[in-house]
């Protein structure tokens, strides 16, 4: 075993930073045996020194920028978060010094990944970001290394534990979105401002990263169409159950005729597909390669210990010299690929309407679908209520999204229709 340690500096001692410190301390002998050298903390930075972390003798900085500039380290672990600001500053400083970086920061990678990869290549450093997608799930290594002998046609998954927890709880307890969101916030599962999670932005960041790795292309966050889960109701979830589906917020990227279709949206997933049974805060990711076929990875998508596990996996690669270009190949060899238009998407569809129970309503709805060449598969209506609206559920055969949206727009103008919700069906 070499006596030369891998010298590590950690910027950010929150949930993941603290978990990483604990893992490095508790598993020190195991890590050293597997790496053939010690992994040693030589500096940590936070606004205040935590008293509950094993940091005796480790130099402490209140200024992460100063640590990145002045500390003698081999790798800087950035766990501050945020696409810009101090997180980006310390990473650029470390890479500019020829050091390596490990980060869990999906927003920074999604927005600045190409720039940072070039900086690493220019100065001889490396970037590890396994913890940025899927928490403890080793999806970055799978795409960058394990599937390197495959042309990947599709990558998709449940990439946000907060949304999956909300949708699972809505189904299990029959409660509405707003009520479950408030509880998730009180329990700490959702942020005080949950916009990034429930509007799909967090999933879009992760999907842009996965698409880059899967299709050997530059990150294109602007090419990800994004829709969240605010409109999903307990009523929709009950009908999904009846129809044999679970509603999940999916991130889906597919390479089709040289174009990349990347979308985030709530979808009805058939019970026969593995993603339908991923519950609570868990994540799961499916890939489709031409030689290996379909692979499924599932695990905890967040939390101190799972995410710290992913951070240390990157540190172990650096400690043993297992390195490669940030996105699998050098930046100049990544192939730009055009984004497919959202209107070109093809899918089956679920529509739930609240309609006034009066003659002629179905004829008008059917006419709108017929005129846009949308074919209905089945319809569910129960009960009558002349004084109020009643739910009507329809599922459509696969059709192109442009036609479906035109039909929906026309149906919404009907005086008898007071509400309409559309959810895509993933017939996998």
| CATH code, 6-132 | 3.40.50.720
- Intra-chain end-to-end CA distance of the chain, in Å: 49
- How many other C-beta atoms lie within 10 A of the C-beta of residue 166? 27
Q: Mean pLDDT per 10-residue run, the chain (428 residues)?
A: 88 93 95 95 93 91 96 97 94 97 97 97 96 93 94 96 93 92 83 90 97 96 94 94 95 93 96 92 94 94 90 96 92 93 85 84 87 90 70 91 92 89 89
Q: Name the strands in the sheet holding 127-128, side by side, starting at the edge strand that comes first in the sequence.
A: 60-61, 39-45, 6-11, 75-78, 100-103, 127-128
* Residue 415 pLDDT: 87
Task: At 45, list the tokens.
Answer: 């930075």
Which residue from 66, 126, 129 is spatially nearest to 95, judged by alpha carbons? 126
CA gap 253, 259 in Å, rounded: 10
Residue 104 pLDDT = 95
| Domain parsing of the chain, residue ranges | 6-132, 139-300, 346-425
pLDDT value, residue 35 = 94
Q: Which CATH number fits domain 139-300: 1.20.1050.10, 1.10.3720.10, 3.30.450.20, 3.30.360.10?
A: 3.30.360.10
Query: In the prediction, which pLDDT does 386 show?
Result: 60
- The answer to whether 120 and 101 are in contact (CB under 8 A) is yes
Q: What is the pLDDT of residue 342?
A: 74
In angstroms, the CA 230 to CA 266 distance is 10
Q: How far apart are CA 130 and CA 18, in angstroms?
A: 17
Contact partners, residue 146, CB within 8 Å, separation at least 6: none
| pLDDT for res 143 | 95
Beta bridge partners of 41: 8
Question: Is CATH 3.40.50.2300 what the domain over 346-425 is classified as, yes or no?
Answer: no
The DSSP string of 83-99 is SSHHHHHHHHHHHHTT-
Could you list the active site residues?
206
Which pLDDT score, from 0 to 100, does residue 344 have? 75
């Amino acid at each position: 075993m070499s006596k030369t340690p891998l010298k590590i500096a950690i910027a950010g001692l929150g949930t993941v930073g603290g978990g990483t410190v604990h893992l490095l301390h508790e598993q020190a002998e195991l890590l050293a045996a597997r790496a053939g050298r010690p992994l040693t903390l030589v500096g940590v930075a936070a606004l205040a020194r935590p008293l509950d972390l094993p940091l005796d003798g480790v130099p402490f900085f209140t200024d992460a920028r100063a640590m990145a500039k002045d500390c003698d380290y081999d790798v800087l672990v950035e766990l501050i978060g945020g696409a810009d600001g101090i997180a980006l500053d310390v990473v650029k400083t470390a890479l500019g010094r020829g050091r390596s970086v490990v980060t869990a920061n999906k927003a920074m990678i999604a927005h600045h990944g190409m720039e940072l990869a070039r900086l690493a290549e220019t100065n001889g450093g490396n970037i590890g970001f396994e913890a940025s997608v899927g928490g403890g799930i080793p999806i970055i290594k799978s795409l960058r290394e394990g599937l390197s002998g495959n042309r990947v046609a599709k990558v998709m998954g449940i990439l946000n534990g907060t949304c999956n927890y909300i949708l699972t709880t809505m189904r299990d307890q029959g409660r509405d979105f707003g009520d479950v969101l408030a509880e998730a916030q009180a329990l700490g599962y959702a942020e005080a401002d949950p916009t990034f999670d429930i509007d799909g932005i967090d999933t879009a960041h992760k999907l842009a990263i996965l698409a880059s790795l899967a299709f050997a292309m530059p990150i294109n966050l602007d090419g990800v169409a994004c829709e969240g889960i605010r409109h999903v109701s307990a009523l929709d979830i009950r009908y999904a159950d009846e129809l044999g589906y679970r509603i999940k917020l999916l991130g889906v990227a597919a390479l089709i005729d040289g174009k990349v279709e990347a979308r985030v949206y709530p979808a009805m997933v058939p019970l026969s597909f593995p993603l339908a049974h991923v519950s609570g805060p868990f994540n799961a990711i499916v890939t489709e390669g031409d030689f290996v076929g379909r692979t499924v990875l599932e695990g905890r998508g967040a939390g101190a210990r799972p995410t710290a596990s992913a951070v240390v996996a990157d540190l172990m690669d650096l400690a043993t010299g297992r390195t490669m270009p940030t996105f699998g190949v050098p930046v100049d060899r990544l192939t730009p690929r055009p984004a497919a238009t959202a209107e070109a998407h093809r899918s089956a569809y679920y529509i739930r309407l609240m309609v006034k129970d009066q003659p002629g309503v179905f004829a008008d709805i059917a006419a709108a679908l017929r005129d846009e060449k949308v074919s209905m598969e089945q319809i569910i209506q129960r009960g009558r209520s002349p004084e109020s609206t009643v739910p009507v559920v329809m599922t459509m055969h696969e059709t192109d999204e442009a036609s479906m949206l035109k039909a929906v727009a026309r149906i919404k103008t009907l005086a008898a229709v007071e509400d309409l919700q559309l959810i895509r069906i993933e017939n996998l």
